[in-house]
Structure 1
Amino acid sequence: MSTTILLIRHGETAWNAVRRLQGHIDIDLNPEGQRQAAATARALAGEKLDAIISSDLKRALQTAEAIAAHHHVPLHVDPDLRERGYGAFEGLLYTEIAERYPADFAAWQARHVEAVMPHGERKAESFRQFYERSIAALARWAEKHPGQAIAVVAHGGVLECAYRAATGMSLDSPRDFQVKNASINRFTFEHGKLLLSQWGEVAHLTLATLDDVI
């Protein structure tokens, strides 16, 4: 039996807004992110969900909690759904990373999938390590809910990995698709594989803006 997965990126944080790399640093949603989370929760209020699963980082968990308020289903927390670990890059603006770690920054931007950034307070991962972790986590939760529908709230990198897995896109190819905050992305999981149904639903965010004005 197939599992339906609604994969959702967390709402905006202050660091998202200024392109400061978060990784495993635990940042709250900003006011816009809270509005986005509430709008996403309203958009999903009529969906049949059997479980909600979230990364343990606050920006994802706060988004998941907003969704869970409309559903009487279990909310699970899974650290394996965290964003990629960026080591010493975490907490820096992209411009600062380029200045301080030019060779490592160049390898990252060139999509060297085995490259690992310098470790800082937190351990860094290669893109392949991160991909294998996040896809295994999605598969594990899907296999726990055969024939059901689950919402998974995670991070931009996790969504990117899911998109690549579902479409067969290579890990080293440039990302030519957007991963927007509070977007809803629909997958099915069957026979051990992710399949993409719909990508990048964000109309609910615009409608929420109109509702707030009215």
Structure 2
Amino acid sequence: MGQEFGHHLEPLGGGARSEQEVRPMSWARADIQHRAAHGADPLADQLLVLGMCRIDGSEQLDVLTGALPVRARDLVMRHGVHASRGRIVDVQRLYVVTHPEATHHVDGLVGGWYDSHLTVRGLAQAERIAAFLRSSIPADARIQLVSSDLARTAQTAAVIGAALGIEAELDSDLREKSYGIAEGRPQAWLDERFAFPPAQGERLDHDPAIDGSETKRTWVERAHTAVARLERIEADYRVVVTHGGTANWVITAWMRIPVAACGYAAFKLPSGSVTILEEDDRFHNRTLVSLGKRAYDGEV
């Protein structure tokens, strides 16, 4: 059986194995078993082999998943199963969702705290994101859902919450950067007046020259505060619904990157994307698993 998935896997037969080496997969194993039993995914029964195999030596997840068929490897990644030194490692997952298409996108207006709504297309995209999350998170897991309180994110979170069977907690600290008096105006108006930060020198406290606009430091600090607050609640899976800009600082906060180091940091996070992060239960390392993929385009 081990040879089917590559030479790195060795069946657990003959010879004593410690309880730690054959530890069950917890949420992920149970959900994969459920999928196999109910025919929800024809690859799920293939993945059950992970519960009966160990890894030679100290190969990590990249070695293990590299030995699996591509679609099977994707399912392993989706369910947060790791292998480390011959044991299955559970991980805590964080999904960072950026709201899909909103009215300010199609109208060419500045977003920020301007309270635009999802378009009809955006609502359909939110449904696809919700379906992806529902298929990725075990039904009996402890799930936390937190969202920016602006309409476009709250609408997205409501669709996701309906799929997951939970209500979203709204947090204004997860709002997009405030652009002050520019919000709701044509994007061209802002582009003509915005003072871009220097290539060298002060960036976090740089003044963008727009009345009422936040500095980058204020923006990053409040997003980091929101992440620190949500982490006080115990959960196996967390879903944060926010904006394309603020999602950057949700990621840096989760990765424990200090505010002072965020002057140049930026990630490519399109609207309607899902970013996956995780923390393992052994080293407590925090990993960026997948960045800014769109569920409705089949990227995740």
The interval holding the TM-score normalised by the smaller chain is 0.7 to 0.9
In 2, the alpha carbon distance for the partners of 1:188 and 1:51 equals 14
1:71 alignment counterpart: 164
In 1, the alpha carbon distance for the partners of 2:279 and 2:220 equals 17
2:280 maps to 1:187: no
Higher RCO structure, 1 or 2 (CA under 8 Å, sep 6+): 1
In 1, the alpha carbon distance for the partners of 2:144 and 2:277 equals 15
Deviations along 1:14-44, one digit per CA (max 9) or x if unpaired, are: 2123542211111100122111101101111
C-alpha deviation, 1:125, in angstroms = 1.3
Deviations along 1:36-73, one digit per CA (max 9) or x if unpaired, are: 10110111112135121111101001001111111222
In 2, the alpha carbon distance for the partners of 1:196 and 1:143 equals 21
C-alpha deviation, 1:94, in angstroms = 3.3
3-state DSSP of counterpart to 2:292:
strand
2:35 alignment counterpart: none
Between the aligned residues of both structures, percent identity stands at 25
Residue 207 and residue 4 in structure 1: after superposition, are their counterparts in 2 closer, same or farther (change >3 A)?
A: closer
2:147 alignment counterpart: 54
Deviations along 1:121-173, one digit per CA (max 9) or x if unpaired, are: xx421111110100120121022125x21111011111122344538594332
1:153 alignment counterpart: 241
Unaligned regions of 5+ residues in structure 2, if any?
Answer: 1-89
2:261 maps to 1:173: no
In structure 1, what residue type is equivalent to 2:264?
Answer: S
Q: CA RMSD in A?
A: 3.0
Matches within 5 A, 1:46-125: 46=135, 47-48=137-138, 50-99=143-192, 101=193, 105-108=194-197, 112-117=203-208, 123-125=212-214
| Structure with the greater alpha carbon radius of gyration | 2
Unaligned regions of 5+ residues in structure 1, if any?
Answer: 209-214
In 1, the alpha carbon distance for the partners of 2:134 and 2:226 equals 25
1:211 alignment counterpart: none
Deviates more, 1:54-63 or 1:136-145: 136-145
In 1, the alpha carbon distance for the partners of 2:144 and 2:107 equals 33
In 1, the alpha carbon distance for the partners of 2:156 and 2:270 equals 14
C-alpha deviation, 1:197, in angstroms = 2.4
Deviations along 1:63-118, one digit per CA (max 9) or x if unpaired, are: 0111111122242111111111111221233321233x2xxx13358683212445
3-state DSSP of counterpart to 1:12:
coil
In structure 2, what residue type is equivalent to 1:196?
Answer: L
Residue 24 and residue 141 in structure 1: after superposition, are their counterparts in 2 closer, same or farther (change >3 A)?
A: same
In structure 2, what residue type is equivalent to 1:80?
Answer: D
Q: What's the TM-score once normalised by structure 1's chain length? A: 0.79
Residue 192 and residue 133 in structure 1: after superposition, are their counterparts in 2 closer, same or farther (change >3 A)?
A: farther
1:212 alignment counterpart: none
